[in-house]
């Protein structure tokens, strides 16, 4: 017997009591859980019921049909709503109207469609007019309903309706919908019904039950519309979670001037500032604010610019109710909330609450402030900031003096609302498709009148987003914040003309597609042309010393949060750095050593490359040694710089790894110049180069294979490492080199190279009379090495998983060529993610786990780390923590992300282990 028979599918909320609560997001979706919780804590919510996500799952598993008992359950709950409100669904005198709202587990802004005023038909609309005493309002509700229902359920393009609405507004000279008189609305309703008849060949449904089930079906169907699929993919939301459906009695924000609808954040979602913050529209219905059709008004006096009238001033008593409610909600959820409300005849109703999306800036500030307010603990603060978001605090801003100059020079085109902080410069694209295409060449600023869910891909590829319409809670603002894109909205003084492909601002030449534009998402300034950026405050304080700690709250919060993370995490964080400068940056970001110092980059500098070429091309060992002797001082000084920079911290130096051909002269001109320098004939040299050519160099003569066939190369490197270490130590600086052998696949390879390393190290230490504390270890990047890790563990003192090569070789994907098919693989769900970005836990990850276990089985003290790109990826870090690695190593700018992610991984592991 299936559990479907006994499962509860419908949950009621209303009159101070709900069958669900905040913890039931999986069953009720985020919206349903929020409505239930608000009802339970005494916040005014119109009564209704939630059809569970289980029905969505059932729907897709049963050929789009419903569980048999659903019909009955819906009818019963509708009855409860009717009793509560004192109106009946479909009644000619006092009709109950409902909204039908989707609501997935994770909020998906604008992805799923809501229908308002359902239950209206030619008869009930008259009942509504009579019972409310307001015919205009009844007709306004009806025309909205026909349009929404036609769009979402009947799939008639809303353009047809909007076209008529705009034309009507022009005809009657109305600035807003609220000014259209009743008789014109009656005409509009008739026109709307004609459109439906024309497009569909039948009448707009008059049966209210048909309307209700049509809407419910449309919500479930919309789970698989293209916009929802795209959003889920970008945000990694599983397809099989499903959506719930909320059916809720209507309250009306469009019944007159003491009515309104709005959205608000309990704190500022862009900056995190602790100020109630929001927007509303008088005499309107919810979708009007969200859709950005009219630019809404500010909620509080403090937000007012110019002569707008805030809610605080227009309806002070209601504003006070709202303040009470938001404080109650924030204290209850102990997090910043994003709320949606409607005011009907001076009475406030909450329609939604959820954890507010925020920028990285706001996330860090809110977490720190809430710790100071004793609302949350350090641990909760660490859990609340998405690790990847913290890089926003490192993103560039415009150079203040450069910007001042452009402003003086008259390049300021206008201002809009700062919706996503950060500076962006790019070429103008007027459509999402163009943005995607142009972003392949240059940075792009997507410029739109407003954005809609169809634009997501374009927004994703843009460096910044500018809209001329809509408020801080419009689609563009919400999505840009989620993506961390600099964004300005509601720049009403600028005019976008799609047909001419122009952006106009009075007193300026119009800009066209491809022209440069700069936007400051922190201040809202829009500037013509390209504008230089400068480092963020965090960089200025930490790296450049050009700003003081006291001057930057952003830096102080960044620093505090990461310190709390450090108290939690057990996983060490190192960096991949090849130069003293990179090492310094990483150290300042909190890296505790170098996990990968590549030596090959050091060979490319001008004075060195020739000697490297001489070494490779030498006719015999003597020639090779001579060139190596000349290279040694260079290498030694490189290592000295790094050792001094990382005083006392471990530094893993990888011996030469890439195929030799990377160093060879390629062009005829290069060959002839090297030939001259080396006193060789051109032909002779070219033959030698050809002879060294490899078909698959990445699988060819590289890594320890070079160290074994040309032992003098590795010997020179080891000598340089230890000479540098001894000299630095003599100066009183503590040094801990860790020599790492790359590309080991057999025991003997490691044995030979490790023996040589230890022998040369001993020789140098004896010559210098200095004792160095060092380790010898191996990369584990060939699958075979992971499989024989127990034997390698007997020789190596540490392992470092080179997960880039390990991924390449385990999958058999060439990293340089995988771009041709990997995107399609991810698209077709052959792979959940690009395995070069996030570790493939099922396969490659198992080699990491097994290699670690086997290595430690013979060497309990074995130190194990990761040095691939995955070391800076939060999901991969979570996985590596479960493998009990000692550290991850990542590029310097990812170090803060890794610190935070490692703390979160620790908390997750602890929660899992109980
Ligand atoms: P979204 O998921 O796109 O935010 P919602 O289901 O929250 O869609 O609906 C959008 C808006 O419609 C709400 O913010 C609210 O203003 C309005 N709305 C929804 N249901 C009702 C209702 N029962 N009464 C009044 N307004 C409603
Ligand atoms: Mg919507
Ligand atoms: Mg909503």
For the stretch 223-274, pLDDT in tens is 888 878 878 877 778 888 889 999 999 999 988 899 999 999 999 998 899 9
Q: In this structure, what are the phi and psi dihedrals at residue 723, rounded to the nearest 5 degrees? A: -60, -45
CA separation, residue 699 to residues 411, 805, 812 (Å): 54, 10, 11
Write the CB contacts of 6 (distance below 8 Å, at least 6 apart in sequence). none
- Ligand 1 near 535 CB (within 6 A): no
Least trusted range by pLDDT, from 399-408, 617-626, 679-688: 399-408
C-beta of residue 462 within 8 angstroms of C-beta of residue 484: no
- In the 8-state DSSP scheme, what is residue 393? G
Task: Round to whole Å and give the CA distance between 827 and 812.
Answer: 20
- Ligand 1 near 339 CB (within 6 A): no
- Ligand 1 near 340 CB (within 6 A): yes
Q: In this structure, what are the phi and psi dihedrals at residue 817, rounded to the nearest 5 degrees? A: -115, -10
Other C-beta atoms lying within 10 Å of the C-beta of residue 361: 29
Parallel, antiparallel, or unpaired for β 572-576 and 594-598? parallel
The active-site residue out of 368, 867, 883, 890 is 867
Residue owning the nearest CA to atom 15 of ligand 1: 286
C-beta of residue 339 within 8 angstroms of C-beta of residue 349: no
What pLDDT is recorded for position 419?
A: 85
C-beta of residue 573 within 8 angstroms of C-beta of residue 867: no
What pLDDT is recorded for position 826?
A: 86
Task: Round to whole Å and give the CA distance between 716 and 702.
Answer: 17
Q: List pLDDT tens digits, range 117-138.
A: 999 999 999 999 999 999 999 9
Task: Tell me the CA–centroid distance for residue 250 and ligand 1, in Å.
Answer: 9
pLDDT, average across residues 547-563:
96
pLDDT, average across residues 19-30:
96
Residue 49 has pLDDT above 70, yes or no: yes
Lookup: tokens for 657: 């790894």
Lookup: tokens for 689: 């180069």
What pLDDT is recorded for position 396?
A: 81
Distance of alpha carbon 844 from the chain centroid: 24
Share of the chain above pLDDT 90, in %: 72
Task: Round to whole Å and give the CA distance between 51 and 74.
Answer: 8
Task: Round to whole Å and give the CA distance between 154 and 210.
Answer: 12
Q: Mean pLDDT over all residues of the chain?
A: 92
What pLDDT is recorded for position 84?
A: 97
Q: List pLDDT tens digits, range 784-832.
A: 999 999 999 999 999 999 999 999 999 999 887 888 898 889 888 899 8
- Ligand 1 near 473 CB (within 6 A): no
Task: Round to whole Å and give the CA distance between 43 and 335.
Answer: 17
Ligand 1: which of 101, 293, 453 to mutate, most ligand atoms within 8 Å of CB? 101
Least trusted range by pLDDT, from 85-94, 480-489, 506-515, 772-781: 480-489
Lookup: tokens for 249: 């009695």
pLDDT, average across residues 444-449:
96
Residue 374 has pLDDT above 60, yes or no: yes
Residue owning the nearest CA to atom 7 of ligand 1: 352
Q: List pLDDT tens digits, range 738-760.
A: 999 999 999 999 999 999 999 99
pTM assigned to the model: 0.84
Give the strand order in the sheet containing 502-505. Answer: 494-497, 502-505, 511-512
SS3 for 782-814, per residue? CHHHHHCHHHHHCCCCEEEECHHHHHHHHHCCC
Task: Round to whole Å and give the CA distance between 483 and 360.
Answer: 10
Task: Tell me the CA–centroid distance for residue 294 and ligand 1, in Å.
Answer: 17
H or E stretch at 827: helix 822-827
Lookup: tokens for 231: 């959003």
Q: List pLDDT tens digits, range 293-313.
A: 677 899 999 888 778 899 999
Residues with C-beta atoms within 5 A of ion ligand 2: 114
Task: Tell me the CA–centroid distance for residue 281 and ligand 2, in Å.
Answer: 16
Lookup: tokens for 713: 């190369």
Residue 485 has pLDDT above 90, yes or no: no
Task: Tell me the CA–centroid distance for residue 537 and ligand 1, in Å.
Answer: 39
Ligand 1: which of 114, 144, 288 to mutate, most ligand atoms within 8 Å of CB? 114
Nearest to 382 by CA among 512, 218, 240, 569: 569
Share of the chain above pLDDT 70, in %: 98
Q: In this structure, what are the phi and psi dihedrals at residue 354, rounded to the nearest 5 degrees? A: -155, 165
Q: What is the largest CA-CA distance in the chain?
A: 105
pLDDT, average across residues 718-726:
98
What sign results for the dihedral spanned by CA atoms 652, 658, 664, 666? negative
Residue 711 has pLDDT above 60, yes or no: yes
Residue owning the nearest CA to atom 17 of ligand 1: 286
Residue-wise over 319-342: b if at least 16 C-beta within 10 A, else e? bebbeebbeebbebbebbbbbbbb
CA angle 678, 682, 687 (to 5 degrees): 100
SS3 for 842-868, per residue? CCHHHHHHHHHHHHHHHCCCCEEEECC
Relative orientation angle of helices 874-882 and 895-913, to the nearest 10 degrees:
40
pLDDT band at residue 381, thresholds of 50, 70 and 90? very high
Higher pLDDT, 32 or 691: 32
C-beta of residue 470 within 8 angstroms of C-beta of residue 295: yes
Q: List pLDDT tens digits, range 498-553.
A: 999 999 998 899 999 999 999 999 889 999 999 988 889 999 999 999 999 999 99
The ligand 1 atom at the shortest distance from the C-alpha of residue 248 is 23
Residue owning the nearest CA to atom 22 of ligand 1: 250
pLDDT band at residue 1, thresholds of 50, 70 and 90? very low
Ligand closest to the CA atom of residue 340: 1
- Ligand 1 near 99 CB (within 6 A): yes
- Helix, strand, coil % in the chain, rounded to nearest 5: 50, 15, 35
Give yes or no: 867 in active site: yes
Higher pLDDT, 404 or 887: 887
Give yes or no: 601 in active site: no
- In the 8-state DSSP scheme, what is residue 579? S
Residue 771 has pLDDT above 90, yes or no: yes
- Ligand 1 near 485 CB (within 6 A): no
């Amino acid at each position: 017997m299936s559990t479907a028979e006994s499962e509860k599918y419908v949950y009621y909320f209303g009159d101070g009591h709900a069958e669900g609560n905040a913890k039931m997001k999986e069953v009720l979706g985020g919206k349903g859980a929020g409505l239930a919780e608000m009802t339970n804590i005494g916040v005014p919510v119109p009564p209704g019921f939630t059809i569970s996500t289980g029905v969505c799952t059932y729907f897709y598993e049963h050929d789009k049909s419903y569980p048999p008992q659903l019909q009955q359950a819906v009818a019963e709950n509708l009855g409860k709503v009717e009793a509560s409100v004192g109106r009946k669904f479909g009644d000619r005198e006092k009709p109950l109207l409902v909204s039908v709202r989707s609501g997935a587990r994770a909020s998906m802004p604008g992805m799923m469609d809501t229908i308002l005023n359902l239950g209206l038909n030619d008869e009930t609309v008259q009942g509504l007019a009579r019972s409310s005493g307001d015919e205009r309002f009844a007709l306004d509700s009806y025309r909205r309903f026909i349009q929404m229902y036609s769009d979402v359920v009947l799939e008639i393009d809303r353009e047809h309706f909007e076209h008529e609405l705009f034309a009507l507004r022009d005809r009657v000279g109305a600035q807003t919908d609220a000014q259209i008189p009743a008789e014109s609305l009656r005409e509009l309703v008739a026109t709307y019904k004609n459109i439906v008849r024309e497009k569909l060949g039948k009448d707009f449904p008059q049966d209210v039950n048909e309307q209700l089930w049509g809407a419910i079906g449309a919500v479930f169907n919309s789970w698989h519309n293209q916009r929802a699929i795209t959003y889920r993919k970008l945000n990694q939301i599983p397809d099989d979670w499903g959506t719930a459906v909320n059916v809720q009695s209507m309250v009306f924000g469009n019944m007159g001037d003491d009515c309104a609808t709005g959205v608000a954040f309990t704190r500022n979602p862009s900056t995190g500032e602790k100020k109630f913050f929001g927007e509303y529209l008088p005499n309107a219905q919810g979708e009007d604010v969200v859709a950005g059709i009219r630019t809404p008004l500010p909620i509080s006096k403090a937000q007012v610019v110019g002569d707008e009238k805030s809610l605080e001033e227009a309806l002070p008593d209601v504003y006070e109710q709202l303040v009470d409610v938001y404080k109650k909600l924030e204290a209850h959820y102990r997090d910043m909330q994003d709320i949606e409300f409607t005011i009907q005849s001076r009475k406030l109703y909450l329609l939604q609450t959820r954890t507010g999306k925020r920028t990285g800036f706001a996330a860090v500030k809110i977490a720190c402030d809430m710790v100071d307010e004793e609302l949350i603990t350090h641990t909760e603060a660490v859990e609340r900031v998405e690790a990847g978001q913290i890089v926003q605090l490192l993103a560039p801003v415009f150079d203040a003096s450069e910007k001042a100059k452009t402003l003086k020079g008259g390049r300021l085109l206008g201002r809009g609302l700062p919706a996503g902080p950060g500076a962006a410069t790019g070429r103008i694209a007027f459509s999402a498709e163009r943005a995607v295409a142009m972003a392949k060449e240059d940075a792009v600023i997507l410029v739109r009148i407003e954005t809609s869910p169809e634009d997501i891909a374009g927004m994703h590829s843009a460096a910044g987003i500018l809209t001329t319409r809509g408020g801080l809670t419009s689609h563009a603002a919400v999505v840009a914040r989620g993506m961390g894109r600099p964004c300005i909205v509601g720049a009403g003084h600028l005019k976008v003309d799609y047909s001419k492909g122009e952006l106009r601002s009075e007193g300026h030449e119009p800009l066209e597609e491809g022209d440069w534009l700069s936007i400051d998402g922190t201040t809202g300034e829009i500037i013509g042309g390209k504008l230089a950026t400068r480092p963020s405050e965090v960089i200025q304080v930490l790296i450049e010393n050009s700003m003081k700690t006291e001057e930057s709250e952003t830096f102080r919060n960044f620093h505090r949060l990461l310190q709390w993370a450090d108290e939690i995490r057990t996983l060490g964080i190192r960096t991949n750095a090849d130069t003293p400068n990179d090492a310094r940056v990483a150290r300042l970001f909190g890296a505790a050593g170098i996990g990968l110092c590549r030596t090959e980059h050091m060979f490319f500098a001008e004075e060195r490359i020739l000697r490297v070429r001489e070494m490779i091309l030498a006719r015999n060992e003597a020639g090779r040694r001579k060139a190596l002797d000349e290279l040694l001082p260079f290498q030694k000084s490189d290592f000295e710089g790094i050792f001094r920079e990382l005083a006392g911290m471990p530094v893993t130096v990888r011996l030469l790894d890439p195929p030799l051909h990377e160093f060879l002269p390629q062009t005829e001109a290069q060959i002839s110049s090297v030939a001259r320098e080396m006193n060789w004939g051109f032909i002779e040299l070219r033959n030698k180069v050809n002879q060294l050519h490899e078909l698959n160099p990445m699988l060819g003569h590289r890594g320890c294979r070079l160290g074994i066939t040309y032992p003098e190369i590795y010997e020179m490197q080891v000598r340089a490492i230890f000479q540098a270490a001894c000299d630095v130590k003599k100066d009183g600086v503590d040094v801990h080199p860790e020599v790492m052998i790359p590309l080991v696949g057999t025991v003997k390879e490691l044995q030979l190279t490790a023996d040589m390393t230890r022998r040369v190290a001993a020789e140098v230490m004896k010559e210098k009379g200095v004792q160095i504390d060092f380790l010898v270890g191996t990369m584990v990047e060939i699958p075979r090495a992971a499989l024989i890790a127990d034997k390698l563990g007997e020789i190596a003192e540490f392992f470092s998983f080179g997960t880039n090569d390990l991924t390449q070789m385990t999958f058999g994907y060439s990293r340089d060529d995988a771009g041709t098919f990997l995107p399609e693989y991810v698209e077709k769900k052959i792979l959940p993610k690009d395995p070069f970005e996030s570790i493939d836990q099922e396969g490659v990850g198992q080699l990491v786990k097994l290699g670690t276990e086997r290595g430690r089985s013979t060497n309990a003290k074995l130190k194990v780390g990761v040095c691939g790109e995955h070391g800076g990826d939060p999901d991969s870090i979570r996985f590596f923590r479960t493998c009990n690695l000692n550290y991850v190593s990542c590029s310097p700018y990812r170090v803060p992300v890794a610190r935070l992610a490692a703390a979160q991984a620790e908390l997750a592991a602890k929660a899992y282990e109980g």
